[in-house]
Amino acid sequence: MPILTLTTDFGLKDHFAGAVKGAIYSEMADARIVDISHNVSPFHITEAAYIIQNAYKNFPPGTIHIIGIDSEQNPENKHIAVKLEGQYFICANNGIMSMITKTINPEEVVEINIHDRIKTNFTELDVFVQVACHIARGGTLGVIGKPIKEIKEITGIMPVINSDQKGIIGNVIYVDNYGNVITNITKRLFEDVGKGRKFTIQARRAMFKKIHQHYSDAINFEIEKSKREEDGKKIALFNSSGYLELAIYKSNPSTVGSASTLFGLDYRDAVSITFE
């Protein structure tokens, strides 16, 4: 039995996440369900895309991902099922998959067309569960949808390179639970454009001239703990997903503050890199 994952903006207060799990178990009592996140900001497609892009790689082939973000079907928001790297993704065709398909071509994409057989006003509970269980039982995508070639893209998530190759202008695409700010500037892009040159990263009034390998690299452990400064140390690094991240060492948004609160950064705010 393959793993089924859930990523939604349902939160944990309401019944929605539990209802979807109950519907899956009603179809397949031996299902294996993993919650990736139910705390995606409401209707935040880019946030969901970032989470999915970085989570799916850790799952085995055959895993089925149900993504419930902005899923209500309408003429401009169709539903798709995507097979990519041996895994399956069921979601609205609203751009969520575009961060992955920018670098990896899907093996198969279909527009789901079983809605006339299912009466629903709760897409994830009805349509997405039926599609996921069909795939889990060994069913093919061709039975539940018609092939399509193009997946809708999220706009404004690609950084811009200056014409003189002396700078990159990126944006914040995600703020994590610690208040760390993740940009759309990848390590690969930074190295391709920078070519080893000195640089300055600027995000509002915060400036960085060094990129660390680890969060703790900002601390000088040769100084006795009682004498060294740790709180509020600002850090720039490439995170485990390969994106430029601006952080505060051991931050806490509700107490000492975070990169997002202290630097005044939020979704889509500009972060620039200037090379010497």
**CATH assignment of 3-147, among 3.80.10.10, 3.40.50.880, 3.60.21.10, 3.40.50.10790:** 3.40.50.10790
**CATH assignment of 160-275, among 3.10.310.30, 2.40.30.90, 2.10.109.10, 2.160.10.10:** 2.40.30.90
DSSP E strands, the chain: 3-8, 32-37, 64-68, 79-84, 87-92, 108-112, 145-147, 160-161, 167-175, 181-186, 199-203, 206-208, 234-238, 243-248, 270-275
Whether 3-147 shares its CATH topology with 160-275 is answered no
Domain boundaries, the chain: 3-147, 160-275
Terminal C-alpha separation, the chain? 55
pTM above 0.85, yes or no: yes
Query: pLDDT 10s per residue in the chain (276 long)?
Result: 899 999 999 999 999 999 999 999 999 999 999 999 999 999 999 999 999 999 999 999 999 999 999 998 888 899 999 999 999 999 999 999 998 998 899 999 999 998 877 766 677 778 999 999 999 999 999 999 999 988 999 877 789 999 888 999 999 999 999 999 999 999 999 999 999 999 999 999 899 999 999 888 877 787 887 776 666 688 999 999 999 999 998 888 887 789 999 999 999 999 999 999
Q: What is the model's pLDDT at position 121?
A: 67
